[in-house]
């Protein structure tokens, strides 16, 4: 069975801390791995990763994929209260070629 597992389930940090969110997967027919940020409404796209070892970066956020060990990490440096959200990892693939989501990591950044 295809699955995507995120850890930790939740995390509380203080402003300025650096956090690392984890995503491991077992998905047949892997095509890509995506990260989304979800605040109070729709998930918004952060990154799409298809190749191992190539870091994608956007401001204080960065992500990398390891296709040999079947995981990805999302790093956030110098966290701010506006980073508080659920971070979703999803893998595109599986028997029917669609997104398979993890449970998400709830990040709370305290002032």
Partner 1 sequence: DVKVTQSSRYLVKRTGEKVFLECVQDMDHENMFWYRQDPGLGLRLIYFSYDVKMKEKGDIPEGYSVSREKKERFSLILESASTNQTSMYLCATKGVNYGYTFGSGTRLTVV
Distance (Å, whole) CA 70 – CA 72: 7
Q: How far is the CB of 66 from partner 1 (least distance, A)?
A: 19
CB 33 within 8 A of CB 72: yes
Q: How far is the CB of 4 from partner 1 (least distance, A)?
A: 8
* Segment holding 89, helix H or strand E: strand 85-93
Choose among 62, 56, 81, 72: nearest CA to 4.
72
Closer of 36 and 83 to partner 1 (Cβ): 36
Q: How far is the CB of 31 from partner 1 (least distance, A)?
A: 6
| Footprint on this chain of partner 1 (rule: CB under 8 A) | 6, 9, 31-32, 34, 41-45, 48, 88, 90, 92, 96, 98-99, 101-104
């Amino acid at each position: 069975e295809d699955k995507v597992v995120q850890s930790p389930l939740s995390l509380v940090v203080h402003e300025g801390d650096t956090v690392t969110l984890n995503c491991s997967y077992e998905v047949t027919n892997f095509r890509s791995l995506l990260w989304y940020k979800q605040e109070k409404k729709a998930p918004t796209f952060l990154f799409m990763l298809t190749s191992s070892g190539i870091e994608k970066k956007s401001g204080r956020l960065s992500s990398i994929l390891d296709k040999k060990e079947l995981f990805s990490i999302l790093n956030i440096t110098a966290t701010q209260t506006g980073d508080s959200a659920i971070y979703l990892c999803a893998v595109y693939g599986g028997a029917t070629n669609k997104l398979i989501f993890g449970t998400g990591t709830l990040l709370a950044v305290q002032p």
